[in-house]
Structures are given as C-alpha cells and as structure tokens.
Structure 1
C-alpha cells in the first residue's frame, strides 16, 4: 500500500526500516504497485532517446574534427577514447546497480565516466528492461534491515522477569 508519491504508507506508530526511494520510481519498487510498469517503460524509452541524442552530438563532434582537418591520428584517438570511456562507464554503471560503489574510486573515475556518458545511458536502458535501476541493491538492503529489525523487536518483547526459560526458579537450600 502506498500514497500518491509512491511512499509506502505504514500504520501510525509503527517503527522499522523504510525503503529508500529510487530516482523516477519513488518507493513503488517495493511492491511494484502504482504506475511502476509505466515508469519502467518511460525510463527505458527516455534513456534510449538520450542515447540517440548523445550519439547525434558525438556525430557533430566527429564532423567538427573532419572539418578542422586534424588528421587521422587525432580522429582515431578521439574515437578510441570515447569507445573505451563508454565501455568503462557502462560496466561501472551496471556494477553500481548491484553493489554500493567505493566513493574514492567513483571520485577518481568521475572524469572518465563523464566522457563515457553514452555507456552510462545504455546501462540505464538495459537495466530498466529488467527492473528499476538499483532495485536489486535497494531490495537486498531493505530486506536485510527488515530482518534485523524483526530480530531486535522480537528479542525485546515482553517482561524478561516473567520469562521462565530465561530465569529459572531458584532452588531453596535446606538448613
């Protein structure tokens, strides 16, 4: 059950972990309710359109190199640079959907990932065909937090002094 923003509604006074919202999906990924499927289709179409637009921009950049007559070597280097950076960005983005990335590594790769933006967009497109991008990681973390919360809540219920197994009655000594 969720409200109009996709945030799960919980009974008043309930405690426990709350799911982390995903970009474009809110928390509809938890129960796949609301307009989850429509959002996935929209995200897939939007990222594919962004890939097409990005490739058009890269085409203009290539034509600019041709007009500038920079030479075959420079043109070859630019093409290889975009291909390698896109491949690295694709892999890094896909890995980021299944496990938390190392912040230091992300910071060092920021420029490389910016150059390979087409690869990141393609990874977003392919992941949105399977599930909401990042859903698997968030679901694992949310389920683990719920299990941990249940264990803690179960341990603390009731009055421990009334629990016979935890505090067996003391035997009296005879004098």
Structure 2
C-alpha cells in the first residue's frame, strides 16, 4: 500500500529569487529591492533608447512623428498590461487576443518598456510571479487532496 500524502506537491521557487513564496528566507527583502532598482534602471535605459529611436526614425514635428509616438506608447501599454496580468494570474487565465503569444510578439518587442514598467511596479507589491506560484501551488494542492480522497482504482472491468 502506498502513502498518498508523500506525493503532495511542493511550492515551486519564484523566478529570479531562488526561494519559494512559502519560505522567503533572510535575503528576500533585499533581493526584492535589488530587483525593483534593476527594473527601474532598465526601464529608464529602455525609455531613453526608445526616445532616441523615435527621434531618429520620424520627423518629430510632423504627423508621422506623432503617429510613431502613439504607436510606441500603445504597444508599451499593451505589453505592460499583458505582463501585469501574466504575473498576477498566470498564462492560463488570459483569453482572447491576449493569450496568443505569436500575435503579440511584435507588440511585446516594441513595447518592452511597458513590460519593464510592469516588472518594476509588481516588484513593489510582491516578487514578480509570486502570486502565480501561489495560485499554481494551491490548485495542485486542491487536485492532490481531491485525488487523495478517492479510493485507488482497481483493474478494469470487462
């Protein structure tokens, strides 16, 4: 007879932090601060890079320049919202056009500044991906409890 409680799921580590959301460890707060500062620095560098690219590509006084700025801002907002939702609720919860990764590749590439902003803001709330790891663990634990309550299957009937 096997012990079903031995196969209980374990919390998975949060990406970039090397610790789980259950046992955060001594350096968790310092790692989260360092991650937030790093994301903010990358955000500033990315925004400067995008500003230089937009200034080099378009006539900043004309209609083309305005449309280019609006397109970059729109892509940044969409990429930031998608990243925020992915970190908060996970990939499985996204639906519609937000779930199709191939369709969003150009938007995510142009709007990388929005992604960096989402990582920065999320790191102020909790470690990015911590809520996702928590929800995955709770779902796995619920499935495990449901399976543990059932009697083991016997051979198939003919």
TM-score range, shorter chain: 0.7 to 0.9
Larger radius of gyration: 1
Please state how far the C-alpha of 1:53 moved relative to its aligned partner: 0.5
Residue 156 of structure 2 corresponds to which residue in structure 1?
A: none
1:47 aligns with 2:39: yes
Residue 115 of structure 1 corresponds to which residue in structure 2?
A: 110
Closer, same or farther: CA 107–19 of 1 in aligned 2, 3 Å:
farther
Contact kept, 8 Å, 1:48 with 1:121, in 2: the verdict is yes
Contact kept, 8 Å, 1:29 with 1:36, in 2: the verdict is no
Please state how far the C-alpha of 1:20 moved relative to its aligned partner: 2.7
For residues 54-82 of structure 1, give each alpha carbon's deviation from its aligned partner in whole angstroms, at most 9, with x where no partner exists: 1111222233246xx58612211211111
Contact kept, 8 Å, 1:19 with 1:27, in 2: the verdict is no
The secondary structure found in structure 1 opposite 2:23 is coil
Within-5 A mapping of 1:1-175:
14-65=6-57, 69=59, 72-101=62-91, 102=94, 105-153=100-148, 155=150
CA distance in structure 2 between the aligned counterparts of 1:146 and 1:38, rounded to whole angstroms: 30
The secondary structure found in structure 2 opposite 1:109 is helix
Contact kept, 8 Å, 2:88 with 2:129, in 1: the verdict is yes
CA distance in structure 1 between the aligned counterparts of 2:9 and 2:111, rounded to whole angstroms: 36
Structure having greater relative contact order (Cα 8 Å, sep ≥ 6): 2
Closer, same or farther: CA 148–63 of 1 in aligned 2, 3 Å:
closer
Gaps of 5+ in 2: 153-158
For residues 58-112 of structure 1, give each alpha carbon's deviation from its aligned partner in whole angstroms, at most 9, with x where no partner exists: 222233246xx58612211211111100011111111111223359512211111
Give the length in aligned residue pairs: 143
The secondary structure found in structure 2 opposite 1:56 is helix
CA distance in structure 1 between the aligned counterparts of 2:54 and 2:99, rounded to whole angstroms: 33
For residues 3-31 of structure 1, give each alpha carbon's deviation from its aligned partner in whole angstroms, at most 9, with x where no partner exists: xxxxxxxxxx9432122333211333222
CA distance in structure 2 between the aligned counterparts of 1:70 and 1:128, rounded to whole angstroms: 34
